[in-house]
Amino acid sequence: MVIDRLENFEKYLSLGPRISKALSYLKENDFSQFKAGEYDIDGRDIYAIVCDYALKPVSEGSLEGHRKYVDIQLLAQGGEKIGFVPRTDQDVLKEYDPEADYAFYSGTSSLIRFEQGMFGIFFPDDLHMPGIGSPDEKVRKVVIKVRRDAPSRGSGV
């Protein structure tokens, strides 16, 4: 997992060409001008999801994990806590769905406060629980999905 502020995005460009492209996209766009929805960056290899939502108490959250995609999550407006724990032997709450690319897990996590302008890069072994906070708070988040393996374009991210 990586946590930083968007102004420091250049430190992470060496993580791979797709992550580099995704971080550059985050840096180059003003997401307050976007409608909520999905945006193509590079087909299904890299795409963005702009979403607005109310936060929830930690008791209503679940840890999620992905296999096909790395998540890059940027807080475009507001702030939230995101739970994090490395994947080890957590109990599965919802089996992996290959179409949606996620599974839910039980367990505890460390809560990390993300403020506007902060991003996190969550790799497949990084279980995370986004959207934690007071239900009367709303956020705008951009999640960029970066495919780990793109057979037509080589391996890596």
pLDDT in tens, 103-156: 999 999 999 999 999 999 999 999 999 999 999 999 999 999 999 974 444 445
Provide the residue range defining the domain that includes 114.
Answer: 2-149
Please determine, for residue 97, whether its predicted confidence score (pLDDT) is greater than 70: yes
Per residue in 42-58, pLDDT (tens digit) is: 999 999 999 999 999 99
Q: Put residue 77 in one of left, alpha, beta given phi > 0 → left and psi -120 to 50 → alpha.
A: beta
Domain assignment present for 139: yes
Q: Which pTM was predicted?
A: 0.93
Domain assignment present for 157: no
Domains: count for the chain: 1
Check which CATH number belongs to the domain holding 42 and give it: 2.60.120.370
Find the mean pLDDT for residues 81-98. Answer: 96
Rounding to the nearest 10 degrees, give the CA dihedral for residues 131, 28, 148, 8.
-70
pLDDT bin (cut points 50, 70, 90) of residue 157 is confident
Domain assignment present for 42: yes
pLDDT at 74: 98
Domain assignment present for 105: yes
β-strand pairing of 102-105 with 110-114 = unpaired
* % of the chain with per-residue pLDDT over 90: 94
Domain assignment present for 31: yes
Domain assignment present for 17: yes
